[in-house]
Amino acid sequence: MKLAIFGMFRSGTNFFWWLLSKDSRFKNSYVEPLHPLLLEERKKYRHYEIYNSLPELEKYFSPLFAFNNFVMKREESYPELKAYLDYLIKDDTLIKINRMPFRINWFMKNFPDVKCVGIIRDPRDYAYAHMVNGPWDPIFFNLCAKDKRFMKHFKPLSNEADAVKLLMFWKACLNEMVESGMPLITIEDLNLVGLDIVEKLYDNLGFGVTEEVKGAFSDPDSYSYFWGNNLGHGEVSDTIWSEAIRKTNMEGLINSLGY
């Protein structure tokens, strides 16, 4: 069993990872392997504890993995990142990665034996979560605005409000996940009918849901709760969202997803 979870920050990726990490068939379970401060953070938080058991981590890890080559084509080469992920992904590995939405096709080419799944959230709730837990750092938006692949759509929005830039980033990330062909779930469905969602996903992937995963749904601990909590974007004026949706040309996309 090898499974990679992809998604955007504040979209439920940690909660989803936490649920699946209860499956003991995953002997290795990693979250945020590209965190630029991973070497320091692993000493503070229990979801990073596994990194403390890796004796050669500093040999393979670089904080630059989060930012360098942030947008990559399928055929591009990044041997240092490939070596690092090879070091982490052994048999029976679960890994959750936020910092490479525009390297998904590169990942799938270089790790063809790893099954992939994406998780998304209502873009307004996603944006609101960033705005209320701010200040939001636009570094990844800016990286896209400088890349020729996204410059046309991102650069004209560089001076817009955070809500506009966050929705534009969300839209681009979703397109990458959709184009990759990976199965997608939503945090909303995971909160409402989580076990059904995971059972269907596991059937799709050729796994079978264990009692451990079922137990995680019936008895989540306080550590996991905030990851699955779905904040409401209604705290922000509808006018702000309407303007952001108009400027990013997302109305049809949002409606098609049932948001």
Q: What is the pLDDT along the chain (259 residues), one digit of tens a residue?
A: 999 999 998 898 988 998 899 899 999 999 999 999 999 999 998 889 999 999 999 999 999 999 999 999 999 999 999 999 999 999 999 999 999 999 999 999 999 999 999 999 999 999 998 888 777 899 999 999 999 999 999 999 999 999 999 999 999 999 999 999 999 999 988 888 888 989 999 898 888 888 888 887 776 665 554 555 556 787 888 999 999 999 999 999 999 998 8
CB contact at 8 A, 204 and 183 = yes
In sequence order, the β-bridge partners of residue 120 are 186
Q: What is the pLDDT of residue 231?
A: 62
Task: Provide the CA 183 distance to its chain's centre, in angstroms.
Answer: 13
Q: What is the pLDDT of residue 205?
A: 86
Q: Which fold has domain 2-256?
A: Rossmann fold (3.40.50)
Helices 123-132 and 162-180: angle between axes, nearest 10 degrees: 130
CB contact at 8 A, 17 and 96 = yes
Q: What is the pLDDT of residue 41?
A: 93
CB contact at 8 A, 41 and 49 = no
Q: What is the pLDDT of residue 222?
A: 59
CA–CA dist 11, 13 (Å, integer):
6
CB contact at 8 A, 227 and 15 = yes
Q: What is the pLDDT of residue 194?
A: 82
CB contact at 8 A, 188 and 122 = yes
Q: What is the pLDDT of residue 232?
A: 76
- CB count within 10 Å of CB 113 equals 7
CA dist 208 → 93, 109, 191, 213, 249 (Å)? 16, 26, 20, 10, 40
Q: What is the pLDDT of residue 224?
A: 57
CB contact at 8 A, 89 and 111 = yes
DSSP assignment, residue 231?
Answer: -
CA–CA dist 138, 69 (Å, integer):
17
Q: Any idea where the domains of the chain sit in the sequence?
A: 2-256
